[in-house]
Amino acid sequence: MLELRNIYFSITKDGEELDLLHDIALNLPRGHFTAIVGPSGCGKSTLLKTIAGLNIESAGEIHWMKRNLLEDGDLLPNEFGYVPQFSIAYEQLTVDESVDSASRLRVRAWGREARDAIVDRALDQAGLTDIADRRVSVLSGGQKRRLGLAMELVANPPLLLCDEVTSGLDPKSEDEIVHLLADLAHNQNRTVVNVTHSLANLQLYDSIIVLYAGCLAYHGPPSAMPHYFSVEHAEDVYPALGKRSPEQWHSSWSKHRRFYYDKLGLELPKKPSEAHDHDALPEEDKIEEEGGELQEDDTTTLIAKPVAIEELETENVEEKSEDVDITSTEELSTDAAQEVDDEADLEDDDESEDSGQTIQEVARRPGVLAQFILLLSRRYKIFFRDRTQLILHLAILIGFPALVAIFTIDGIDPLLRPSQLTGSAYQQIQENIDVRESRMISGSFVSGLIMFQIVLLTLMGANNSAREVAGERNIPEKEKLGGLRPSAYLASKIVFLSMMVIVQSLWMAAFVEFFWNLPGSIESHAILLLLVNGAMTGICLGISAMMRSADQANLLSIYLVGFQLPLSGAILALPKLFEPIIRPFISAYWSWSGSVSALDSDYGQAVRTVSETGISPNQLCVIMLSIHIAAGLVIAMFGLRKTMWQA
């Protein structure tokens, strides 16, 4: 059983505390299908996310299967499924591959047959068997919602939370999804909670939860809801809510919920374990705690029928007590009471017995290595199927080195050296001028050419990873909720991006070397190119992991690359005051400086002749770039451990 005990969820806005959820108390047994309805902004999704653990309650307790989640830890990843309203599948994968991927991330299974059985069962339950080989990109809205359900059903969770999964669908698709959810609840002893704005198909639900401005206004059978709100049709409930304040609806429901819970066969929610002060309880909770009943001369009776709408519009309404027109139990018609009885044939989860389809135990999660292997193989599959990205990467891989080669096609003029011959003073002065000009020209050319390669590789690094996490933010966030370990996700990204960095950097070094014989150690130069690409890739991966959207990550990464050239000191030296503060953070400087220090002594001296920026030792540059890589990965891990839903 899922039990919410006086749940509050508050935020601070403009310096004041605002309750998005106010004193929510309800019970939901196993095998129960319920809808959370209410006007837009009433707290429906907030309540669902609080149950799922995405929002941490400000007060109160959530109990699941007799466990206090506040004290005993959150729901286990495979104890519940959470289906958001946005798509949680990669467009490049097929339906079967998406469900198989979810299965391999969430459920430990031995052997191909066991794995196929899990996938086939989920596809069959979601009604997707006939389209299992279709790409996600071609699915309709209703089919994508079914896919989201199938990806949760691989773990066979006893609790299924659905957030607006029918929004934006046509009536036929909405009807199919609601029937599917009802079957998942009733046929498998599963608790299913569906957040919806629609009031269609209410007859399929066992109970309806009505929220109004964060307050619980009703939780009972759908057939009794119109009577409770004094309206003829369910569609009239939303306008009726506006006739009273949220606090009035909440107070009224607290007084009269016992009757509806009796008809549903449910116990009233208990008070939080920390609330022992009887005097602190609201008056209606004292009555329930003491087992007493309201007397006939009270202004309210045990069963609530709210004030009639037309009476709320009279001039004397403010002089009436809050529930002055609430009728007695006898006013509930015999037919309505019978409908309530028909929908109240529910049993507590401790006593329920189901067929072989009853959920027996929580599935075990795969280990870190198994998740890593699946994520890495899936990333390569997506990469090679995304033709746009593939063409872009190939163009950059070929185009950037070719761009550098254009400037080196004529090679480097050999350095002039002073002759040993004696001559006139004029000849010696002219020779010294020629030697100095040769050194300045060659030094500027070599320094600029090295920096050109470095800047292009920093662009490659930003392109590699700026969108790597932020561009798919919803999917890893959802998979983390289902048991994905951030370490496995980050490891798969590191391996995938490392291969790109190695290919790009070594190809740049080899391609340019073919046109320009580097006057120094090509190995040292290649290593420094590799490290600067890796540093920018790692840092931009960290940025991507910290940002909520791909646009934010992309923009910040572009700015970061743009500052590399002017702040490196290769063109203009930094002011002495800022140099020790800025230089440690500029990857381009350390790669440029290390490459210059690895040049032949004559060319290295030539670069020093034209540069006012100091050249650091090669070993120090390697260490600093390695620190940049490590810092980026630490930031990435920190970002991946945070919960950041985009929608």
Q: Which residues pair with 2 in a beta bridge?
A: 28, 64
**Residue 411: which pLDDT band, with cuts at 50, 70 and 90?**
low
Burial 300-312, CB ≥16 within 10 A → b, else e: bbbbbbbbebeeb
pLDDT given for residue 358 in this prediction: 46
Is 256 a residue whose pLDDT tops 90? no
Q: What is the pLDDT of residues 553-589, one digit of tens each?
A: 999 999 999 888 888 877 777 788 888 888 899 999 9
CA–CA distance from 489 to each of 78, 193, 330, 371, 536 (Å)?
18, 29, 61, 8, 19
Can you give the pTM of this predicted structure?
Answer: 0.81
Q: How large a percentage of the chain has pLDDT more than 90?
A: 50
Q: How far is CA 577 from the centre of its chain?
A: 42
CA–CA distance from 212 to each of 21, 237, 304, 396, 602 (Å)?
10, 11, 17, 54, 79
Least confident of 130-134, 298-302, 445-449: 298-302
What type of residue is 344? A
Structure tokens at 581: 């503060």
pLDDT given for residue 598 in this prediction: 82
Cβ contacts of 351 within 8 Å, gap of 6 or more? none
Choice between 307 and 8, residue whose per-residue pLDDT is larger = 8
Taking the alpha carbons at both ends of the chain, their separation in whole angstroms is 29
Q: What is the pLDDT of residues 368-380, one digit of tens each?
A: 999 999 999 999 9
**What average pLDDT does range 617-630 have in this prediction?**
94
Choice between 356 and 241, residue whose per-residue pLDDT is larger = 241
How is domain 2-82+170-342 classified at the CATH fold level?
A: Rossmann fold (3.40.50)
What type of residue is 254? S
CA atoms of 253 and 215, how far apart (whole Å): 10
Is 629 a residue whose pLDDT tops 60? yes
What type of residue is 314? T
Give the DSSP per-residue string, 356-376. Answer: TTS--SPPPPP-HHHHHHHHH
CA atoms of 347 and 7, how far apart (whole Å): 24
Is 500 a residue whose pLDDT tops 70? yes
Average pLDDT, the chain: 82
Q: What is the pLDDT of residues 297-347, one digit of tens each?
A: 333 333 344 433 333 333 333 333 333 333 333 344 334 444 434 443 433
What single-letter DSSP state applies at residue 31? T
Burial 348-374, CB ≥16 within 10 A → b, else e: ebeeeeeeeeebeebbebbeeeebbbb
Domain with CATH 3.40.50.300 in the chain: 2-82+170-342
pLDDT given for residue 422 in this prediction: 57
Least confident of 416-420, 566-570, 595-599, 639-643: 416-420
pLDDT given for residue 430 in this prediction: 66
Least confident of 46-60, 190-204, 247-261, 431-445: 431-445
